[in-house]
Structure 1
């Protein structure tokens, strides 16, 4: 009895491990978008992972309208859907780049940070470049939003949140440029404080 159980388990493990496991290739924008996820701890590598997925989504073709993230019934809905999708992905990329920049940004230059002055300046330089990169995606989001608003009479229920974002951009309620520029202004002030630090200020 015991031998037959062991033999049964061995055969199951053998056949399961030797059987092929099939996967599918990720090709379409929606597939890459579905890989985007929010981590509990927002470490830089987690943010970069999501940036990778969303940038791939922007560079990929859309799937067939049958597999879209909203119900599509005609070509005009399909057009609006694509504008909203690209707008939303660009907005998510702005948020991710802001989150990434915050990992390198210094809110204040304290006198006791002088021993690490050059490390802090290097970190601030990285943050500045990342903030500027976020502005590029904001411009793209605005461009797609301006196209989507031209078809605003079309309502796609499954992606209503994207439509809300579209409305907020067009009314000026959502303005990442203002937010990013305020970060850049503060960053430059902090950078100047670090640059002016010396042994006399420590």
Structure 2
């Protein structure tokens, strides 16, 4: 019954995608729909980070559908509460990744002297990268809020292989194996050093 519900949900969303080409946002009403659309988008155009972010932000903004059509088998109130918290934590972590990927497009990781003629454009792009990395840190802060709320549901089990990685993320954060603050801080420090390099160099070889 559960697998059939998931299949129906995916088929409905896929049909809408074919009709609208993912342009009519009014066609989607629930958080899970936006999440499924995001996953379809990742398969087709994984590097379209702005579009990925658009879908994920809507997944956070829109309400959840009926528990009967969730992405996991839900039988109790505790399972439902845990499912919603896991979903929001997971989506925020995805937004962290997407902003890091987008920021990397503007980043300059190697400061070569022969790039100095383009230093003004490089510095402008480094500022964009910095802003995107800081936004990523904000989403990580949000993810940690939901992670903290999940502590009370630590022993509540949800029966679904579809969200196993959500719970894996919870435990990785819990065990300090996943720490985006540390990752982002290192990136920001490196960017500041790169900016100083270009600021102190003339715009010629």
The bucket for the TM-score relative to the shorter chain is 0.7 to 0.9
TM-score normalised over the length of structure 2:
0.82
Counterpart in the other structure of 1:192: 196
* SS of match in other structure, 2:28: coil
Compare 165-174 and 128-137 and name the one that shifted more: 165-174
Larger radius of gyration: 1
Compare 130-139 and 145-154 and name the one that shifted more: 145-154
Q: C-alpha distance in 1, partners of 2:66/2:50? A: 28
* SS of match in other structure, 1:94: helix
Counterpart in the other structure of 2:10: none
| Structure 1 position 41, deviation (Å) | 6.3
* SS of match in other structure, 1:150: helix
Q: C-alpha distance in 2, partners of 1:64/1:95? A: 28
Q: Deviations over 1:61-118 (max 9, x none)?
A: 0000001000000111000000000000000000000100110010021110111010
The equivalences for 1:41-80 within 5 A come to 42-43=46-47, 46-80=48-82
1:146–1:170 contact (8 Å) kept in structure 2: no
| Structure 1 position 171, deviation (Å) | 1.8
Q: C-alpha distance in 2, partners of 1:90/1:148? A: 14
Matched, 1:181 2:185: yes
Counterpart in the other structure of 2:30: 28
Q: Which of 153, 156, 175 lines up with 1:154 in the alignment? A: 156
Counterpart in the other structure of 1:172: 176
| Structure 1 position 25, deviation (Å) | 1.9
> Residues 190, 40 of structure 1: CA spacing in aligned structure 2 closer, same or farther, 3 A cutoff?
farther
Runs of 5+ unmatched residues, structure 1: 1-20
Counterpart in the other structure of 2:7: none
* SS of match in other structure, 1:36: helix
After superposing on structure 2, the runs of 4+ consecutive aligned residues of structure 1 that deviate more than 6 Å are: 21-24
| Structure 1 position 157, deviation (Å) | 3.1
Q: Deviations over 1:173-198 (max 9, x none)?
A: 11011001100010110011011111
Q: C-alpha distance in 1, partners of 2:115/2:137? A: 29
| Structure 1 position 58, deviation (Å) | 0.3
Runs of 5+ unmatched residues, structure 2: 1-18
Counterpart in the other structure of 1:111: 113
CA RMSD of aligned residues (A): 1.9
Q: Deviations over 1:103-159 (max 9, x none)?
A: 001002111011101000000000000000000000000110111122010121322
TM-score normalised over the length of structure 1:
0.84
